[in-house]
Every structure is written in structure tokens, then in C-alpha cells.
Structure 1
Amino acid sequence: MAEEPHHPVGPGERALIAGCGRIGQALGERLAAAGAEVFGLRRRPEGLPAAITPIAADLAEPAALAAALPAPLDTVYYIVTPATFDDEGYRRAFVDGLGNLAAALRGQPRPPRRLVFVSSTAVYGQSAGEWIDEASPTEPGRFSGQRLLEAEAIALGGPWAGVAVRYGGIYGPGRDALIRKAQAGEPCQADQYTNRIHAEDVVASLAHLGRPAVAPGVYLGVDSAPATQCEVLDFIAERLGLPQPPRAEAGGAGGRGVGSKRGSNRKLRESGYTFRYPTFREGYAALLGGPGA
């Protein structure tokens, strides 16, 4: 019988999700449904789904963190959100937090077999529409990418199979910034490429990358259709029956200043992952409903 391609961490496995927010909770429920014992680590873990065992711990407090961790663990996911969007916030969340967790895991009798770190395309400094993949230079000009690269080194440098997955812009239920932008009639950047991935594919790809059969290393988590900001907003506006969004001047107020690049997901697909929403068109059609959804 052929193996189901997205079969995640399975029966008898013990998985820890550090930073168990919206994505982490959906992932935890998916792993638990496959038979894994799942632990969710947060400072205040009340309210986690019943399938996830809560672990109350602070990633900034090494001694208490080490004492709170269950053992042994097979797979660890690190999916945190910085408390503040500045250099200090990113250093605390990614470099210090992951460093403390890695030290605690190293101190266990048996380290986990795999650690999966959620990173971002912010690690790339390309800004002229270049194609990028896992082998492309990572020379970020902003603190966010710099701190994420430091954290990737921690994730990839332990006594476990390390995975760093660099996700593009995540959209889905509750993540509708571009829909609201189209509804407001805001201008778009015709020359700025954006890389997107539906939240459901984020969860499913994380489960996939936690599998022992998938090679460790760096992966780019974007869908199969990098597109300009205007291409995406035009599609959304058409689905909603709205006028085409106005075009901003190149480099003008309609841009976010985060760079323009086109990501290739070839490595992720060749690892055996199949996208539920291969492009932004299928993903936004499902969100917006109507014909073809």
C-alpha cells in the first residue's frame, strides 16, 4: 500500500511545538490526528486544543524551560512570533529563545531526532525581481533577516536533523491583508514581486518536513506562482467585482519596501510535498468563494 505523501509525525512519536499559536495549534491537531503525542509550549498555554498537552514555560528563562520540557522528544517545531517588530524583539524571540531551547534539548538524555525552525524569505536581500532558491546568497539588509539567519544556524547546527523552512507571505482565514487592501482601493506596485503561501499549505508542509524520510536542511516555503503585487490584487478585485486597483509609481507609497524577488519551491516539491493551493489564484478563490472556488 502506497504511503500517504503528507503522512506526518505518526503513532508513538512525541512532538513539541514551541510557540503554539495559530499555525502551531493547527499543526498540533494534525500531528495528534496521525497518532502522535503533542506538547504545546507557551508562557500561558491555557486554551490550547484538547489534542495538545500544554507546557507552561518561558523561552527566556533557561533553567525553568529545561525543567518544564517533556522527555524524550522525537520532533521539535519552533514557531514563534516576536513580541516587538524591532531588532531586540527578533533577537529575543529567535536567537535567544531558540538558543535556550536548543541548550535544554542538548541536556536531555536523548536529543530529538529532528528540529524544524520556521524562518522567512526575509533572509534574502535580493530586491530586483531575481529568482531565489535555497542556494541563493543570503545577505539581508534588515535586522529581521539577519536575526533569522542566526537562528537558522542554531537549528541546523545541533545533534539532530535540522530543518529551516523560509516561508513567504502567509495568507488564509484571518490573514487577509491583501483582500482588505483591494477593498480599500489602495494602489499596488506593478514592479514588486511577492511570494505567497496559504496557511493550510504552511501547516501541511511543516508536518511533511517533520517526517524522518524527508532530507534535513533548508527549504523555501512559497507557492508555485510568484507574482507582482498588482497581479494578486487584480485577481482579488476581479473576484470581488471591484475596479482594478490603481498603480503606484515605482518605488512609491504603494510598496512596502521589503524587496522584490521570485522564490522557487522546486526543492520542497521534489521532497514529496504536493500543494493544496499551488498558486495564489486557487488560494484566494477558496477564501473569496464564488465560481470556481
Structure 2
Amino acid sequence: MRKLIIGCGYVGLTVAREWVKQGDQVSALTRSKDNARKFTESGIQPVLGDITQPESLERLPEADTVLYAVGFDRTADKSRREIYVTGLDSVLKVLKQRSQKVIYLSSTSVYGQTAGEWVDETSVCEPERENGQICLEAEQLFEQHGFLSTSVPKSNAATAVILRLAGIYGPGRLLARMEQINAGEPLAGNPDAWLNLIHLADIVQAILRCDTNIHLDDRYLVSDSRPITRQEYYLTLARLLNAPEPRFDSDGSGEISRKSTRFNSTERAAGMNKRCSNKRLREELGVSLTFPTIAEGLPDAIKKN
């Protein structure tokens, strides 16, 4: 089978390697000649191009499945909207006639709930933060281009499934926070706010499950089975590291480092004070999580860092 990955980074490269193991023909779009060489060494066919340069997208090959896993690259000198919306719009115009299925990685930031409410795929999406608004705008492009069952696709158009990912953690994604915890630096933010997390291995599971011949809904919320508070998350991390108990500066007062006042990318995606239900992921998509809670997932991630 022919696979194409657009956004071959932390998640995309892991999926690419799984597809290569399966014997699939895997291509990946990249702007970097250095990455192109690395992809070739891993058995992945590089395609030089840039989603913000529509003319370069004519090089995209036909594919049975496309994984779209583009993240925000601050080194690209492009705005979040240029990357997530304008770039995606250009890609979808090309993919309509060159693919059968698109698996799109979105974010639970599309939900605007902030009072500890439970959300699922049917919950209203009214994000107040700009990143959530842009993610929702990007999702809406799939309906506009006729990729979803809720739209009216042409018979020769590709179909799509949107995976709304909670905060991603796993090997290589905890180093900055591990250093901060070990140093005993205070953490910004409300310790009682809810976080929703998902381990890299279970994201890959969900993607591979979507790449089978089963009935798919338009959207799945990809989160583990137990939302936790920020306090519990960092207490657990500190205990695993034999580090000092974490301190929080919820109102930003006190002498704390500039680094500690920022939420990392995992926490931004994990959402501030909502709780995500993964019922459809488990019961309808049929994903049996390897790491259903951080009790199983954090030790694995730390061990492989």
C-alpha cells in the first residue's frame, strides 16, 4: 500500500516506521534536505516541498492513505493560521484526486469548556483561545472540501477522519519538565485544573486502526482514560524522578523563572480544565490503550527518555 505523511515529526515519523515495517511504500513531505537524507536512510521516500508553497505540492504522489500531522514550526517564519489553515487548504486541493483516505491530527483545543465539564465528539466547540479557533477552522476545511460524511463528497473524492489529540507525552517529550522538576523550580498555573493526556504509542495505535477497512466516524477524541489535575500529574512525575515535591505559583507572583511561567505544548493541547471522554475511541474504533493512565505511561516515557 502507498502511504504519504505530511508532517513527519514526533508522531508522523513513528507511524512512518510502523508502515515501513508492514512493507508499505511510504513517502514523506519535507522542506529540509537533511531530513530528506534521514528519511531515505529509514526507508522513507522524501518529497521536497512546503505546504505554504502551493506550487511545490504538485510533487505529492498518489497515496492510499495520507497522514496529515503538521505541527506549528516557529522556525518557519509563518503564522499559525498560515500553517494550519492556508497550508492545509492548499494540500486538500491536491489530495482530492490523489488519495483515498486522509487521517488528520487535530487537537482537543477546539473545545472551549473550562469549568471541568466532560466533552466528547458531540460537544459544542466554541474555543476562546486563538490556537483552538485556528484548529477548528482547519477542521472545517475538510467539510468545505467534501471529505467528510457530513458533507456531500464527489464519488472520486477522498474521505477523511479527524483525530482530536489530547496533550501528547512519551519518549523525548518530558525532558524540559523533568529538568524543571529536578531543579525544584515552581510551576505556573492552577494546580487543580484538569489535564487530558495521551501517550505516543496510543496515538499510533489509533492512526493504524483508522488505516483499516472498517467503518469510521468523522471524528474521534484521542485521550487516555483518566483526566488528572496538574497537581497529580506533577506529583506523580516528581515521585518517579525522586525529585522534590513540585511547587505551584498559580497567580504568577513571586520570583520564578521565565521558563516556568510558560505552559509547554503538551499542556496547551491537554487543555485547561475540561475532561475528555475516550468512549468512542475505545468502544467504536476499538482501540485498547497500552497506557490508559499516566500510572502506566509516565514510567515508560521516563525510562525511554
Do the two structures share a fold, i.e. TM-score over 0.5? yes
**Alignment-derived partner of residue 47 in structure 2:** 55
Give the distance between the partners of 2:139 and 2:26, measured in 1 at CA: 23
Matches within 5 A, 1:195-234: 195-234=196-235
Give the distance between the partners of 1:126 and 1:199, measured in 2 at CA: 25
Write the deviation string for residues 110-163 of structure 1: whole angstroms up to 9, x where unpaired.
x42211111111111111111111111111112211111121122343232211
Give the distance between the partners of 1:214 and 1:148, measured in 2 at CA: 25
Q: 1:65 aligns with which of 44, 53, 57?
A: 57
Name whichever structure is richer in helix by fraction: 2
Change (3 A) 1:35 1:216: farther
Write the deviation string for residues 80-108 of structure 1: whole angstroms up to 9, x where unpaired.
1223399x6221111111111111122x3
Q: Verify: 1:149 aligned to 2:145, yes or no.
A: no
Structure 2: tracts of 5 or more residues without a match: 148-156, 254-260
Describe the SS at the equivalent of 2:104.
strand
Give the distance between the partners of 1:242 and 1:83, measured in 2 at CA: 32
Q: 2:282 aligns with which of 234, 244, 269?
A: 269
Write the deviation string for residues 223-272 of structure 1: whole angstroms up to 9, x where unpaired.
111100010111111222233223444x5567848521111111111111
**Alignment-derived partner of residue 246 in structure 1:** 247
Q: Verify: 1:16 aligned to 2:4, yes or no.
A: yes
**Alignment-derived partner of residue 17 in structure 2:** 29
Write the deviation string for residues 182-235 of structure 1: whole angstroms up to 9, x where unpaired.
223224633111111111222222222222314131111111111000101111
Change (3 A) 1:223 1:160: same
Give the distance between the partners of 1:180 and 1:264, measured in 2 at CA: 31
Amino acid at match of 1:101: V
1:21 CA drift (Å) = 1.4
Change (3 A) 1:178 1:135: farther
Give the distance between the partners of 2:272 and 2:75, measured in 1 at CA: 17
Matches within 5 A, 1:172-211: 172-176=170-174, 177-185=176-184, 186-187=186-187, 189-211=190-212
Amino acid at match of 1:56: L
Structure 1: tracts of 5 or more residues without a match: 1-12
Give the distance between the partners of 2:274 and 2:179, measured in 1 at CA: 23
Amino acid at match of 1:149: L
Describe the SS at the equivalent of 1:47.
helix
Moved more, 31-40 or 251-260: 251-260
**Alignment-derived partner of residue 118 in structure 1:** 105
When the two chains are superposed, the root-mean-square deviation of aligned CA atoms in Å is: 2.3
State whether residues 171 and 302 of structure 2, in contact with CA within 8 Å, keep that contact through their aligned partners in structure 1: no
Amino acid at match of 1:62: P
Alignment coverage as a number of residue pairs: 271
Q: 2:37 aligns with which of 46, 71, 76?
A: 46
TM-score of the aligned structures, taking structure 1 as reference length? 0.85
